[in-house]
Amino acid sequence: MAGIKALVGLSFSGAVGLTFLLLGCALEQYGVYWPLFVLFFYILAPLPHVIARRCGDYGDSASNVCLELAYFFTTGIVISAFGLPIILARKSLIQWGACGLVMAGNVSIFLTILGFFLVFGSGDEFGWEQW
């Protein structure tokens, strides 16, 4: 039952984040859809970690090079997702209000992705493999 509650909570959090992103694009005073390019970062963010968990060996060592490299790439992707709306706003392609809404959406979506890996990636009694 805890897995279902976590799944519903993560779904709600993801929906809130996408709502912020779409509000930053579709509100009448903003009306520019350039911020939707952060969707690529949402798709790319979990990929290095998924690949590292598939290829890496999780022994008793304190550090795993493959996992550390995945963290490095994931950090670069997340920072790029936060940097893109700022650059678009500085170049006057979007307004600063839209940038703020996209940033709020970024926080919500990336916390959702983190929560998914914390809840369903641990291999406890409920894993994401069962879904």
In a domain, 64, yes or no: yes
Global pTM? 0.84
In a domain, 19, yes or no: yes
In a domain, 97, yes or no: yes
In a domain, 41, yes or no: yes
DSSP reduced 3-state for 48: helix
In a domain, 90, yes or no: yes
In a domain, 128, yes or no: no
Using pLDDT thresholds of 50, 70 and 90, give the confidence band for residue 3.
confident
What confidence tens digit (pLDDT) does each residue in 18-64 have? Answer: 999 999 999 889 889 999 999 999 999 999 988 888 876 665 566 67
Over residues 93-112, mean pLDDT: 95
110-115's contacts with Cβ under 8 Å and 24+ in sequence apart are 110/45, 110/78, 110/81, 111/13, 112/10, 112/13, 112/14, 112/17, 113/42, 113/45, 113/46, 115/6, 115/9, 115/10, 115/13
In a domain, 9, yes or no: no
* Number of compact structural domains in the chain: 1
* Percentage of residues of the chain with pLDDT beyond 70: 85
Using pLDDT thresholds of 50, 70 and 90, give the confidence band for residue 5.
confident
* Percentage of residues of the chain with pLDDT beyond 90: 64
In a domain, 109, yes or no: yes
Task: Give yes or no for residue 92 having a pLDDT over 60.
Answer: yes
Q: Decide: 14 and 123 in contact? Cβ < 8 Å.
A: no
User: What range defines the domain where residue 23 resides?
Assistant: 15-123
